[in-house]
Structure 1
Amino acid sequence: MRAAEVVPGEPDESRVVDRPEPEAAGDLLVEGLLAGVCGTDVEIVRDGFGTLPPGRDRMVPFHESLGRVISSPTPDFAPGDLVVGVVRRPDPEPCPACAVDAWDFCRNGRYTERGIKELDGYGAQRWTVPPKFAIALDAGLGDAGVLTEPASVVAKAWAQAEAAAARTHLPVRTALITGAGPIGLLAALLGVQRGLDVHVVDRVTDGRKPDLVTALGATYHPDVDRVGVDVDVAVECTGVAPLVWECARRASVTVLAGIAGEHDPVPLDPHVFDEVVLGNKALVGTVNAGLPDYRAAADALADAPAAWLNGLITRRVPLERFTEAFEKGEDDVKVVVDLA
């Protein structure tokens, strides 16, 4: 079979190779269909983020998966089923969170992650996954099933937002989403599915992003200052400091789903903290996802308009040229690698 291989921090070492067929040994054997590409994959290849599997000098990339079951050791999955693989695995200790299958909240950092930390990813024409870490998808999702992993991150963000809102008896009616990338658009989708008045902010003024937001029935704004409604919940997907503080100022609950990365520091108005304290507001960070979030994501995607979901996949790159997926196009939303 063919598989992508990368060396963290050495983009010139990226290649496609022949690898032995995987042995299932009690796992699902899966035909890889698509792998989604996100900023984490670019950081691994270009900046050296991530950790190689022990004793290895290369790894198979990509943590966003979509495959079709070839064989299964359990009746919970059947040949032909569409599946995705969970990214994170619990630590061997385990910590209190991993002990209850909440490995997305791992407390000691000894978790592993497919395609990121010490485990090969899903960028191969065949891969295996333990049944516990596989999520069955609605057959009608087709290629849009590759959006399950980013949607799971969003499902977790909404679960965290609703838990924080419940502690202050806040009826959630309006939502502000900052950033109209895949995470922001999926956050908007789940907000609309909750019956909320959703407002999405992104600096892009034309192209497919505004159209995708409008098609959901949400409102698109090229500037946060144009959002003229009271905000109950904000999901901040950019990591851009001014937007973080603006969300904290406006919303009763803000979920931080974006990473700042390398940005110049910006002045902080200390009154933001006064507003957080005096308003009993909540700022919650979230990353990764657990099994309930994957299942919620699969359900949300199954209930979404198929044409809208497929509109998020803006470019397909063949496996043999997978490095082209790391070059972001002007109108890209979600780029995928076609493993076939």
Structure 2
Amino acid sequence: MRALTVTPGTPGSLQVAELPDPEPRAGELLVEGLAVGVCGTDREIVRAEYGWAPPGHDRLVLGHESLGRVRTAPEGSGFSTGDLVVGVVRRPDPVPCGACARGEFDNCRNGRYTERGIKEIDGYAAELWCVEADYAVTLDPRLEHVGVLMEPTTVVAKAWEQVWRVGERAWYEPERALVTGAGPIGLLAAMIGVQRGLDVHVLDLVTDGPKPRLVEQLGATYHHRGVDEVAGELQPDVVVEATGVGRLVFSAMRNTASFGVVCLTGVSPAGRKIQVDAAGVNREMVLENDVVVGSVNANLRHYRQAAEALARADLDWLGGLITRRVPLESFADAFEARPDDVKVAITLDGGR
């Protein structure tokens, strides 16, 4: 079989390699790969900034945003040949910590978790892959052409779950949400916000291309003015921050309604300094009972929430998020950013 592999820590090592077909172990599904999504984490691994190969190996099979079709499944697993599935990214640490022992491995306390296509386990960018039945989730068959959006949707499903858990520490009935950033995470966060019945606003820099149109088609409102101006006018009850830009983070924190919840999903680059009125931020957060929470990764509960959210979504709208599909043999094109890119997917089945 063919697989997209990289030597972590070695720039320029991305290549398609011929590997032996995998043999499923007890309790595993054998899956035909359909597609993988490309995200910032994948690009960091390719740039040798991140990533770990499996123990005893030099190369890592890339790909954590999976989509595949079951070829074989163990009897009694709940899966059948032909099922559309995705594989969960993270695995609990072997100790395990208290969170991992209770299925909350997205909140691993000791950092000894592993991740498919990222940290010490081969990923899903292969024509065939195996996955434990306990770490696979089925998708509605109608999602065959957009199901590669499942993993990023799990990230925002968790973010919204965390927002609600924080908000429900007291009476909670939010009305307005601001999403900063109109990439895949931001747009999918906006989608779930709309599904929850909120008045959703999305802020991004661009004035043309697919992003404003996608926001409008969602029934949300698109903004491209400064964050202080937009957030100051809106006074959102919820902010989902999906850029990781430090200035936006602190502007969002200072411009929520009372009892506001800010959920940070974007990862900021280290080493960049900004001037912040820390005392002012502290004063507003304390006096208004505001909360800022970080959210990353997802557990099985979030995968199921994401599958439900995608099944309720408009298929044409979801299809508009995937702005390019690149065949495996042209993998390099998938890592070259283009101005109108939202989500780029690599097809593993010849584009069928």
**Structure-2 residue corresponding to 1:51:** 52
Alignment of 1:54-73 (within 5 A): 54-73=55-74
> Which amino acid in structure 2 is aligned with residue 272 of structure 1?
V
State the match for 2:180 in structure 1: 178
Give the match's secondary structure for 1:176.
strand
Contact 1:325 1:335 in 2 (8 A): yes
Distance 1:33 1:81, change over 3 A: same
2:158 to 153, 156, 159: 156
Alignment RMSD: 1.0
Deviations 1:238-275 (A, max 9, x none): 11111111111122100000001146211001201110
Candidates 254, 260, 263, aligned match of 2:268: 260
Cα deviation for residue 170 of structure 1 reads 2.8
Amino acid in the other structure paired with 2:250: W
2-structure distance, mates of 1:103, 1:326: 29
Alignment correspondent of 2:213 = 211
- In the alignment, what sits opposite 1:121? 123
Partner of 1:84: 86
Answering whether residue 190 of structure 2 is matched by residue 188 of structure 1, we say yes
Q: Is the 8 A contact 2:88 2:136 kept in 1?
A: yes
Q: Which residue of structure 1 aligns with residue 9 of structure 2?
A: 9
Question: Which residue type is aligned with residue 164 of structure 1?
Answer: V
Query: 5+ unaligned residues in a row in structure 2: which ranges?
Result: none
Does the 8 A contact of 1:91 with 1:111 survive in 2? yes
Q: Retained in 2: the 8 A contact 1:4–1:16?
A: yes
Q: Matched residues in 1 for 2:206 and 2:282: separation?
A: 30
User: Is the Cα–Cα contact under 8 Å of residues 88 and 114 in structure 1 kept in the other structure?
Assistant: yes
Structure 2 letter corresponding to 1:286: S
Equivalence map 1:223-302=2 (5 Å): 223=225, 224=227, 225-227=229-231, 228-251=233-256, 252-262=260-270, 264-270=272-278, 271-302=280-311
Q: Secondary structure at the match of 2:146?
A: helix
With normalisation by structure 2, the TM-score equals: 0.95
Structure 1, residues 300-331: CA drift from partner, whole Å, max 9, x if none? 00000000000000011111121221111100
Please identify, of 262-271 and 296-305, the stretch whose mean Cα deviation from structure 2 is larger: 262-271
Q: Which moved more, 1:11-20 or 1:171-180?
A: 11-20
Q: Could you say what secondary structure the match of 1:13 adopts?
A: coil
Is the 8 Å Cα contact of residues 12 and 47 (structure 2) preserved in structure 1? no
Distance 2:284 2:118 in 1: 38
Q: Which amino acid aligns with 2:60?
A: M
CA distance in 2 between partners of 1:212 and 1:10 (Å): 37
Q: Matches of 1:75 and 1:285 in 2, distance apart?
A: 34
The equivalent of 2:21 in structure 1 is: 21
* 2:202 match: secondary structure: strand
Query: How many residues align structurally?
Result: 340
Distance 1:263 1:214 in 2: 36
Q: Is the 8 A contact 2:179 2:202 kept in 1?
A: yes
Moved more, 74-83 or 102-111: 74-83
Question: Quick one: which of 311, 315, 319 aligns to 1:310?
Answer: 319
Q: Secondary structure, in 3 states, of the residue corresponding to 1:12?
A: coil
The amino acid of 1:254's aligned partner reads V
Secondary structure in 2 matching 1:231: coil
Partner Cα separation in structure 1 for residue 275 and residue 170 of structure 2:
30
Deviates more, 1:109-118 or 1:269-278: 269-278
C-alpha separation between the residues in 2 aligned to 1:15 and 1:105? 32
The whole-number CA distance in structure 2 between the counterparts of 1:250 and 1:78 is: 49
Q: Distance in 2 between matches of 1:47 and 1:18?
A: 22
Matched-pair contact (CA < 8 Å) for 1:34–1:143? no
Give per-residue Cα distances to partners, 1:4-33, cap 9 Å, x unaligned.
111123232211111111011220000000
**Which amino acid letter does the alignment assign opposite residue 150 of structure 1?**
P
State the 1:148 CA deviation: 0.5
Aligned partners of 2:126 and 2:44: how far apart in 1?
Answer: 20
SS across alignment from 1:261: coil
Q: 2:108 aligns with which of 83, 106, 112?
A: 106
Instruction: Map Cα deviations across residues 271-317 of structure 1 (whole Å, 9 max, x no partner).
Output: 01110111111100011001111000000000000000000000111
Deviations 1:206-229 (A, max 9, x none): 110000000000000002223522
Amino acid at match of 1:333: V
Quick one: which of 330, 337, 340 aligns to 2:346? Answer: 337
Q: Give the aligned partner of residue 37 of structure 1.
A: 38
Could you tell me which of 294, 314, 320 is aligned with 2:329? Answer: 320
Query: Does structure 1 retain, via aligned residues, the 8 Å contact 2:36–2:346?
Result: yes
**Matched residue type, 1:22:** P
